[in-house]
Amino acid sequence: QVQLVESGGGLVQAGDSLTLNCTLSGRTFSDYAMGWFRQSPGTEREFVVGISTSGGGKWITDSVRGRFTISRDNATNTVSLQMNNLEFEDTAVYLCAARLKILSTRREDYGYWGQGTQVTVSS
């Protein structure tokens, strides 16, 4: 069974940077495309960034393009989200997700989810 554990959330000021990490256990990490989603109270869970199994393919939503970067290390089973120049609107619970083989932006395509980590950006 795949297990995902996120870390790295916290309270920061607008303009600051933060790095989130997610570690996968229970299966072969390199078999899974990885995504980061976020959800604020009263809103739907939205796709933020995703990375293919090899790391060669990346998708990123327009609202964070140029500020957020996703990377993965298949040796340590970890996917990271580097968030720079954070904005108040980035405040949300950030969730790591895994999908076997194929990268997707659709939340319903991901079968495995972490518990989420809170990111709060003060303006």
**DSSP codes of every residue in 82-101:** EE-S--GGG-EEEEEEEEES
pLDDT at 51: 98
Longest CA pairwise span in the chain (Å): 40
- Residues 74-95 have a mean pLDDT of 97
What average pLDDT does the structure give for the chain? 97
- Residues 70-93 have a mean pLDDT of 97
- Residues 82-109 have a mean pLDDT of 97
- Residues 26-52 have a mean pLDDT of 97
Measured between alpha carbons, how far is 9 from 2 in angstroms, rounded to an integer? 22
pLDDT of 67 > 90? The answer is: yes
- Residues 11-16 have a mean pLDDT of 98
pLDDT of 123 > 90? The answer is: no
| HSE of 44, CA atoms in CB hemisphere, 13 A | 5
